[in-house]
Chains A and B, each alone.
Chain A
């Protein structure tokens, strides 16, 4: 089984230096792309490879790049921003990639920037990823020293400045347009679309924002081709995926597996199954803003389309396994409290609705619930929904609650009837 993204990683030693990375075949893709390929050619290649954005939305990366105005009349400068603001609870796949093989990300950035002809790139990194920041800083310095960043890279006339920007630390900065506002020094409120960032992005100029994992895939596609990339996957979309497992499993961690690996394989095989004495009750498949699945869904393939068909989202692909001793109400309360706190405060439903939901859930969890609270929760779920809010944060916060009420409404009712949490 090929594991291109993690092939250079070894938890027992430091990540590859530039020289080591090059010896392992690194920067060959960059050389190939910059010296012998046209930007349009790379874009088509990536689109054909079937790479879908690994940040969670799953939009075709090649198509996204296609929205950037190209040619001599295109607005200048153009920007590439890498979304490394990995703050989704239970998600740590980008951290693995940045700490484990920083040059892989930098190579991906150089090729991507070349493809959209951006001369400036930013890595927007989560503030508390200090180790990743340190390793990336070192790697970026090496790359500049080698001449792979800066002016006239490989004598091709292509210039690229790469900056590492540490976020001031809010979950909403992971939203593409809020990230751009944050980079501009403004409040990280999401922007309305249109205008779309590939046309009007950072400082009003065309901008592509890609997830760390997405960018890490690029060198491998360029080097090995679209056919190879598609062959890595078990489903229609291409590539491997860094899956994660946490919660009540025996060996939590991150695993690079073919896209489309089933939940069962991830939990039972790679994560070592449930801990002794626990029984799987629910799965949060792709981060805190994805709907819960149940053991009935264990054979669902973890790819964008399959998880969606099962009523949830693959999101970041980092699942949480929840056992029967965990209170679902408490779990959902914990999740929604996170989102209520991380709401930027721009639109009413998210700003005012989420804290209300938190108060309701808290009341239920602490034995102060009333029968009508369930109706109110359902109202809130209906109102804090896509199209009704400004950005997906609010609806994302409702997904676990909605699914919890769908699969485990009885648990809520028991709280209300027993006037306490039956799980404590």
Chain B
């Protein structure tokens, strides 16, 4: 955490390494400082995000007291603070011999199974073994062995490979807040695992794969895909499973997406991804993928396969009368795709593909973010906040990586406590000792219990309306406190602690989102943030948006889906193009079916079969994030580019290319072959908010004298053989006109800007630990870090005012119950549910009721909304507001469509 959690002190001193002077940061430990200076010191238990604990003893160096001291003493660099005049030797023979001995000890029991280990080739233990020079086995006795555990669909456990560095439990328990992974036993019989077989419960368990320096915890999905790490074609990508835009590194071999890795980004995801982001990728390989165009001659005829050219000319035919065509965009399609659709149908006929509510909320969020005065925040800023209020959003499921950042506020608080006893932030164990159970100032107001509650100082529970009222009340009390009208010494429940925490905070953060569907919730959060900004606080306002390009789509100012349905209903249009969107998730089944039946011709572009594609007259397969390039705008308004890793072919194009082909007279028309840049240029000219996308982009201005950046590693094997069953001639590498990356082993081998880095590697460092070689200092930003461009800036001059609180309308019909949408990390996201590992963890349908509910004693009840009724089991959830019905959002088996504000429950139903 040290880097995440401490502000740079710029307190530089001189230290001597091998007799030469260097400048080093006094707030750091010696290991960190030496690595930052470019020295290689082997290490295991230290990690930039975990700090020091001094267990593995591998980072030993020699310290000399003064010039006269020739003997010196062995010290652990990770546990030694940098201090003026410190004189050390890394290469000292005794220190080097000791480091090799440490590897010797760890190798006593480590199996020699590198050839079949998924970590092999990118293994920190391999690297450290080579680095220390330990080459010969001196131990002549038997190895100890362990039984492995079944840890669920994500993580493979191979305990014999464990070198007991404690990183896994420190990450899992201290960083991620997990409880079900621990260290058992003692002496040379330590066991890192669960108390019994079972799926790891923490939603960040996938990070064990990267945090573990050996192959003890490996990616089970990758294992099922049989690949060696160096054989993967990789490229910078952006996660598509929520709105945060975490940076990822997908890996491909033989046309199959074989794994997903974290791509470090200091502002957003840092070192860690959530499990949905890491394991959701398998939707790309799903059997539900649409591989060929499908066509039907009439509404009653079956869909039949056709070829791409045929399908394209059919589309051009269908679209001949442009006046009758409307387009429906998608928050999960790239900015380029939505833009191409918007250009094709015209902006008046472009519908965003959001539901009415979602469209209204997204528009409001865009307005708040552009009017100011409050800046939006990065996840790094969230982690460093000294007071946080989460209003009405269970971020653990709607923006999981944000939840991990918020959990770090507890540690940030501990660091501040430790400063009082002069303990440095990197002393992980010490800092936690000082702080003990003292939490930070995280406050959570939600209708349901969340997995982050244990990190919160206090939680407020109520209906969405009550939470809104709570938010407006906090704002009012902050006002009073500012004017000293309220005596803060008088405690008054959670209001008091929230207001006090905000009053004392320097960097408060306010968080809200869309999941409650409440406009007032967003307004309440905006008011509080604005209030704090006006008090001169460095406040951030973070909105959680549901999908990977919700924000980009919102900025296109499209109309809602309902208005599209209305247009077809009123016969203003009869032809519909649906872009990567399953309308059955956005509106009721009845509405969607009516709409798709009523429209004369329906063209759907998508990569997965959905109920919408099933009702289309023409279905065109398009590429996923892994087969093409595109731009996604995250919740901060940060536009980021993803690059495909699966080489394109003519049968599978990005949506925007397919849409371009719909244009004009035929394949020779230049408008049909516009590339990404041209699409974005047009967009920037049309909508000024996108102007940054037209400016010279760092990667585009980046000189590539020696060619493009290769997607294949220098160890990529079988290049000349992998297609030999088709042709013995080695094919030309596929073209990738839209990027500075090549589907090749050859090309640029220097230091690329961070958003073109295809893998983290450095001489001697083949594992993910090599990230530090790409950083300004361990844990710091990447060299030349360029992680997208911000599109939204709060207006400098703003005359916007506070929002008023309108009282919610009473529910007149007493039979109706307020719905609390319950999102699920595994289950509520559309794409990841096509990944078998993720789908296996999705919940079955249920309805959650408070223990006081009269129906709480039922095993099952009949649930009705959206004109449908189903029988579902009852789950009693403590803390749920009385009378409210908690309904899992979008999980399979539930009534499809967006969750309404109210539903009906009964013991007896009329199914």
- Residues of chain A touching chain B, judged by Cβ–Cβ distance below 8 Å, are 170, 187, 191-192, 194-195, 199-200, 203-204, 340-349, 351-356, 359, 363, 376, 379, 383, 387-390
Tell whether, in the assembled complex, residue B74 and residue A387 are in contact, meaning their CB atoms are under 8 Å apart.
yes
In the docked arrangement, what's the CA distance between A341 and B57, Å? Answer: 20
Tell whether, in the assembled complex, residue A390 and residue B434 are in contact, meaning their CB atoms are under 8 Å apart.
no
In the docked arrangement, what's the CA distance between A389 and B164, Å? Answer: 15
How distant is A59 from chain B, measured CB to nearest CB, in Å?
A: 20
Known contacts A200-B421, A203-B436: A345-B190 contact under CB 8 Å: yes
Q: Which of A346, A379, A383 contacts B55 (CB 8 A)?
A: A346
| A-B interface, 7 closest residue pairs, ranked by CB to CB distance from nearest | A352-B105, A343-B187, A204-B436, A345-B190, A359-B141, A355-B188, A383-B101
Contacts of B73 in A (CB 8 A): 387
Q: Which of A346, A347, A352, A389 contacts B108 (CB 8 A)?
A: A352
B270 contacts partner chain A, Cβ-Cβ < 8 Å: no
Known contacts A195-B421, A387-B74: A204-B187 contact under CB 8 Å: no
Contacts of B22 in A (CB 8 A): none
- Chosen A-B contacts, 29 in total, with CB atoms closer than 8 Å, are A191-B430, A195-B421, A195-B434, A200-B421, A200-B423, A200-B430, A203-B436, A340-B187, A341-B187, A343-B188, A344-B187, A345-B189, A347-B56, A348-B57, A348-B102, A348-B105, A349-B57, A349-B105, A351-B190, A352-B108, A353-B105, A354-B187, A356-B105, A356-B108, A359-B141, A363-B141, A379-B101, A383-B98, A388-B60
Q: Which of B56, B102, B105, B429 contacts A191 (CB 8 A)?
A: B429
B435 contacts partner chain A, Cβ-Cβ < 8 Å: yes
| A-facing residues in B428-468 (Cβ within 8 Å) | 429-430, 433-436
| A-facing residues in B79-138 (Cβ within 8 Å) | 79, 98, 101-102, 105-106, 108-109, 138
B689 contacts partner chain A, Cβ-Cβ < 8 Å: no
Most buried by A among B54, B102, B109, B187: B187
Tell whether, in the assembled complex, residue B55 and residue A199 are in contact, meaning their CB atoms are under 8 Å apart.
no
B427 contacts partner chain A, Cβ-Cβ < 8 Å: yes
0/1 string, B55-67, CB within 8 A of A gives 1: 1111010000000
**Interface SS of chain B:** loop
In the docked arrangement, what's the CA distance between A119 and B75, Å? Answer: 37
In the docked arrangement, what's the CA distance between A387 and B80, Å? Answer: 12
Known contacts A195-B421, A200-B423: A349-B185 contact under CB 8 Å: no
Q: Which of A344, A346, A387 contacts B75 (CB 8 A)?
A: A387
B183 contacts partner chain A, Cβ-Cβ < 8 Å: yes
B802 contacts partner chain A, Cβ-Cβ < 8 Å: no
Contacts of B74 in A (CB 8 A): 387-388
How distant is A167 from chain B, measured CB to nearest CB, in Å?
A: 14
Q: Which of A194, A345, A355 contacts B164 (CB 8 A)?
A: A345
How distant is A285 from chain B, measured CB to nearest CB, in Å?
A: 26
B701 contacts partner chain A, Cβ-Cβ < 8 Å: no
B186 contacts partner chain A, Cβ-Cβ < 8 Å: yes
In the docked arrangement, what's the CA distance between A352 and B108, Å? Answer: 8
B254 contacts partner chain A, Cβ-Cβ < 8 Å: no
Q: Which residue of B lies closest to A343 (CB)?
A: B187
Tell whether, in the assembled complex, residue B164 and residue A351 are in contact, meaning their CB atoms are under 8 Å apart.
yes
How distant is B32 from chain A, measured CB to nearest CB, in Å?
A: 16
Tell whether, in the assembled complex, residue B186 and residue A343 are in contact, meaning their CB atoms are under 8 Å apart.
yes
0/1 string, B304-343, CB within 8 A of A gives 1: 0000000000000000000000000000000000000000
Tell whether, in the assembled complex, residue B57 and residue A355 are in contact, meaning their CB atoms are under 8 Å apart.
no
Tell whether, in the assembled complex, residue B190 and residue A348 are in contact, meaning their CB atoms are under 8 Å apart.
no
Contacts of B75 in A (CB 8 A): 387
Known contacts A170-B186, A345-B164, A387-B73: A194-B423 contact under CB 8 Å: yes
Contacts of B79 in A (CB 8 A): 192
Q: Which of B56, B423, B430, B433 contacts A348 (CB 8 A)?
A: B56
Known contacts A204-B435, A387-B75: A348-B429 contact under CB 8 Å: no
Contacts of B106 in A (CB 8 A): 348, 352
- Interface bin, chain B: 35 or more
Tell whether, in the assembled complex, residue A192 and residue B141 are in contact, meaning their CB atoms are under 8 Å apart.
no
How distant is A57 from chain B, measured CB to nearest CB, in Å?
A: 19
Contacts of A191 in B (CB 8 A): 429-430, 433
Contacts of B188 in A (CB 8 A): 340, 343, 345, 351-352, 354-355
B30 contacts partner chain A, Cβ-Cβ < 8 Å: no
Tell whether, in the assembled complex, residue B187 and residue A342 are in contact, meaning their CB atoms are under 8 Å apart.
yes
Q: Which of A199, A203, A356 contacts B139 (CB 8 A)?
A: A356
Contacts of A346 in B (CB 8 A): 55, 166
In the docked arrangement, what's the CA distance between A155 and B699, Å? Answer: 78
Known contacts A192-B54, A355-B187, A359-B141: A348-B434 contact under CB 8 Å: no
| A-facing residues in B163-221 (Cβ within 8 Å) | 164, 166, 183, 185-190
In the docked arrangement, what's the CA distance between A355 and B144, Å? Answer: 11
Contacts of B98 in A (CB 8 A): 383, 388
How distant is B460 from chain A, measured CB to nearest CB, in Å?
A: 28
Tell whether, in the assembled complex, residue B141 and residue A187 are in contact, meaning their CB atoms are under 8 Å apart.
no
Tell whether, in the assembled complex, residue A348 and residue B54 are in contact, meaning their CB atoms are under 8 Å apart.
no
Besides A194-B423, A388-B98, 20 other A-B contacts (C-beta < 8 A): A187-B183, A191-B429, A194-B430, A195-B430, A200-B421, A204-B435, A341-B187, A343-B187, A347-B57, A348-B102, A349-B101, A349-B105, A352-B188, A354-B187, A354-B188, A356-B141, A387-B73, A387-B74, A388-B74, A390-B55
| A-facing residues in B830-848 (Cβ within 8 Å) | none
Contacts of A388 in B (CB 8 A): 57, 60, 74, 98
Tell whether, in the assembled complex, residue A192 and residue B423 are in contact, meaning their CB atoms are under 8 Å apart.
no
In the docked arrangement, what's the CA distance between A143 and B435, Å? Answer: 34
Contacts of A203 in B (CB 8 A): 436
Tell whether, in the assembled complex, residue A195 and residue B433 are in contact, meaning their CB atoms are under 8 Å apart.
yes
Most buried by B among A341, A344, A352: A352
Most buried by B among A191, A192, A353, A376: A192
Q: Which residue of A lies closest to B144 (CB)?
A: A355
In the docked arrangement, what's the CA distance between A200 and B188, Å? Answer: 29
Contacts of B187 in A (CB 8 A): 340-345, 351, 354-355
In the docked arrangement, what's the CA distance between A340 and B186, Å? Answer: 10
Contacts of B185 in A (CB 8 A): 345
B53 contacts partner chain A, Cβ-Cβ < 8 Å: yes
Contacts of A387 in B (CB 8 A): 73-75
In the docked arrangement, what's the CA distance between A345 and B166, Å? Answer: 10
In the docked arrangement, what's the CA distance between A347 and B76, Å? Answer: 12
How distant is B577 from chain A, measured CB to nearest CB, in Å?
A: 61
Contacts of B54 in A (CB 8 A): 192, 347, 390
Q: Which of A345, A347, A383 contacts B186 (CB 8 A)?
A: A345
Q: Which residue of A lies closest to B435 (CB)?
A: A204
In the docked arrangement, what's the CA distance between A18 and B584, Å? Answer: 81
In the docked arrangement, what's the CA distance between A200 and B427, Å? Answer: 13
Contacts of B108 in A (CB 8 A): 352, 356
0/1 string, B545-588, CB within 8 A of A gives 1: 00000000000000000000000000000000000000000000
Contacts of B423 in A (CB 8 A): 194-195, 200
Q: Which residue of B lies closest to A177 (CB)?
A: B433
| A-facing residues in B737-784 (Cβ within 8 Å) | none
In the docked arrangement, what's the CA distance between A376 and B138, Å? Answer: 8
How distant is B563 from chain A, measured CB to nearest CB, in Å?
A: 59
How distant is B109 from chain A, measured CB to nearest CB, in Å?
A: 8
How distant is B755 from chain A, measured CB to nearest CB, in Å?
A: 39
Tell whether, in the assembled complex, residue A200 and residue B433 are in contact, meaning their CB atoms are under 8 Å apart.
yes
Most buried by A among B75, B108, B186: B186
In the docked arrangement, what's the CA distance between A375 and B453, Å? Answer: 56
Tell whether, in the assembled complex, residue A204 and residue B186 are in contact, meaning their CB atoms are under 8 Å apart.
no
Tell whether, in the assembled complex, residue B186 and residue A192 are in contact, meaning their CB atoms are under 8 Å apart.
no
In the docked arrangement, what's the CA distance between A346 and B76, Å? Answer: 14
Contacts of A345 in B (CB 8 A): 164, 183, 185-190
In the docked arrangement, what's the CA distance between A354 and B108, Å? Answer: 12
Known contacts A348-B55, A348-B57: A192-B430 contact under CB 8 Å: yes
How distant is B778 from chain A, measured CB to nearest CB, in Å?
A: 20
Q: Which residue of A lies closest to B73 (CB)?
A: A387
In the docked arrangement, what's the CA distance between A399 and B808, Å? Answer: 76
In the docked arrangement, what's the CA distance between A192 and B51, Å? Answer: 13
Contacts of B60 in A (CB 8 A): 388
